[in-house]
Each structure stands twice: as C-alpha cells, then as structure tokens.
Amino acid sequence: MGEINEEAIFIDGTKLEANANRYTFVWRKSIERHSSSLVDKSNRIYDNLVEQDILPEIERESPDELILSELEHMGEALDAHIASINQKIEASSDTQERKRLRSERKEPRLLRKVITDFSERKQRYALQKRTLAGRNSYSKTDTDATFMRMKEDHMQNGQLKPGYNVQIATEGQYTLAYDIYPNPTDARTLLPFLDEISSYLPLPPHIVADAGYGSQENYQDILMRRGRIPLIPYTMFEKEKSRKWRNDPFNTANWSYDERSDRFVCPNGQDVTFRYMSKRTDQYGFTRDFKVYESEGCDGCPFRSRCTKAKEGRHRQVHINTSWEEQKEQMKKWLSDQKTGSLYAKRKIDVEPVFGYLKANLSFTRFSV
C-alpha cells in the first residue's frame, strides 16, 4: 500500500515489568560470594579430616575446589567414623570411657551436618548459575525475568523490578519486528535483534537508533558484516558538542597532535609519545586495540592534580583506540549530513509514539504471562 519506506528502520527498546514477585530476587554477586565462601570452608574441613586420619587423602579433580562427589565421599568417611565410635560406645561398660567417646562423637556429627548442607548448597548454586546464564539477576517466580530499573518508578528510589527489555523496529509508526530480551542493556540486544529481523525481513540501507546502542562492536558489525549504515550516535556525541568539553585543556581530544612523530603535547608543553600497543578483551569476547602514549615527565607539573590520577613517580598515559575514533568521526559526518541527519531526526517521531500507544492507549505496562 506504499505505507512503508524501505530506506531505514528505527529501533528502540522499553522495559516492561514481568508478572513476578518483586522480592524473589537472586543476585549473581551474592551467589559468587557464598559459593566462594563454601569452597574455602569445605577445603579447610577436608584438610582437617585428612590431618586427623578420618579421611584418606583422595585424588582430587581440582586442587582449588571439591566437586560434589568428593563432598559426598567426605560425608561417607564421617559416617564410617561415627559408626566406629558408636560401636566402641556399645562395646564399653566403663561409664567414663562411654562419656569420653560420646564427647568425641560430637564434632564428627556436626561436621556431617555441615557437609550435607554444603552438598545441597553446591547443587543449588550450580542450578542458580545455570539459570542466570550470564545475567546479573533473576526472579524465583519467573526465572526468565531480570531485575531492571523501570521508568515507572513510583517510589522514586531506583528500585529494581523483574522485567524484560522489549525491542521493536518501526517505519512509519508501524512495528515491523519485535523481540524480547532478559538483558537490560540496549547495546547488547542490537546485534541479536538485527539477526532476528534479517531472518524474515531484508534490512534497509540505514539502521537508526539512539545513543544507547552506540558501541564499537555494533558499528563494526553493521558496517562490515551487514554492509549497512548505522545512524547511531555514540554515548558522548552530544556532550562533545558542548563548549565546556571543547574548551577543557586537560581533555586529550583538545591536545595538539603531531602525526609525523606520533605524539601529543600536554597543557604543560610536555611530549606524550607513543610507547606500545595494547589489547583489551571484554567479558563478551570483543577485542579492542589501543595505542598507549605516555608523558615524558609529570614530576613537578603544576597541573598534575587536575590532569592525571596517576600515583607519584608515574606519568600520565593516554589510550587511543584508533578504530573507535575513526568510527566516531564517520558517525559525526553522517549525523550532520542533510540526508542522513534528517533520517536520524525522524527517529523520535517514528519509534517513540509506538511505545506511547502500546502503554497509554493499550494499557500494556506489565506482562500478564
């Protein structure tokens, strides 16, 4: 019917609360802390049992952590030790000896309860880690839901609620595609969402989204793998336009740079020269390359406290990701160009009203299933 312009799609996300109890949370950091404590305590108990000849030293799968079968083996050794003491008590007719043996039996009995508890907790922590599947939290009453900050925050305290991140792609205020994610970060949902769209809809030449989606990994994927143009500002895009940013003498973006000698000059007139290349791989496996520059001397500099947080004896370092800087320059050109800039300007009036209609008119503010 000619309603859809195939030049661009507009992508945005919103968080909707899940139909789950708000106070049934499981936190990844809490699990990791308790799991680490359990490992330390179980290792200490193992060492004590071996030292007291209650348990023969076993060939452990890992020197750092006892696996579940090894914990159960410790429990069986304690059971045998307790049974041995019980036999001695039954065989003895000496009151004092029986009293001494019962006293001796207390600690192994207590340790047996502890080992049983450790085995149960270890199984529970393993299940919780599998349920998290890389997330930081989940709800016990809806394990697919992740705790997120919602815009609808009536208590005004930034309370985390179990919810989902709903992503939509629109054109002309029509929803062309959608998907639901347990990940609250929009930047991490863009590539899987584009894969989902591509499975039934050819991607148009331009992918338009707000700054929450701007990242080196996303730009690289859209440009190199998909051959499309991302009209997505990076996080600092608006801030870099401000007068305060452009006039800050300690901002490395404002330092003079000599391309021939590959060095910067700091506000104190010192050369900041190239030293070495560095690589950083994030938790998701994406690797970034950095050129590391270092000042020839920051000792006695009158601007030191304002320029760097490096400790005394160390000098200011500058890490430059050349690929990222090139991508940012390209984004600036596309977003300031008349044609592509006007496409990006349509984003607010194209995708935002769809969420408004969904929530305000259709009253869909919380999942019912």
Half-sphere exposure of 49 (CA within 13 A, CB side): 30
Q: How far is Cα 260 from Cα 271, in angstroms, rounded to an integer?
A: 13
Beta strands in the chain (DSSP E): 8-17, 25-27, 137-139, 146-149, 160-171, 174-181, 206-208, 229-231, 256-258, 263-265, 271-281, 287-295, 317-320
Q: Is the pLDDT of residue 286 over 70?
A: yes
Pairing, β 8-17 against β 206-208 = parallel
Residue with tokens 């003491």: 85
Instruction: Indicate the pTM of the whole model.
Output: 0.82
Q: How far is Cα 251 from Cα 274, in angstroms, rounded to an integer?
A: 18
Higher pLDDT, 122 or 2: 122
DSSP letter for each residue of 104-133:
HHHHHHHHHHHHHHHHHHHHHHHHHHHHHT
Residue type, 159: Q
**Model confidence pLDDT, tens digit, residues 146-159:** 999 887 766 667 78
Share of the chain above pLDDT 70, in %: 98
Q: Which residues contact 68 (CB under 8 A, 6 or more apart)?
A: 119, 122, 123
- Three-state DSSP state, 96: helix
Residue with tokens 């709903």: 166
Query: Which residue from 262, 257, 270, 263 is spatially nearest to 304, judged by alpha carbons?
Result: 270
Q: Which of 63-72, 189-198, 266-275, 277-286 has the highest mean pLDDT?
A: 189-198
**Model confidence pLDDT, tens digit, residues 110-166:** 999 999 999 999 999 999 999 998 899 999 999 999 999 887 766 667 789 999 999
Mean pLDDT across the chain: 91
Domains of the chain as residue ranges with CATH: 8-16+144-235+329-361 (3.30.420), 29-134 (no CATH), 239-321 (no CATH)
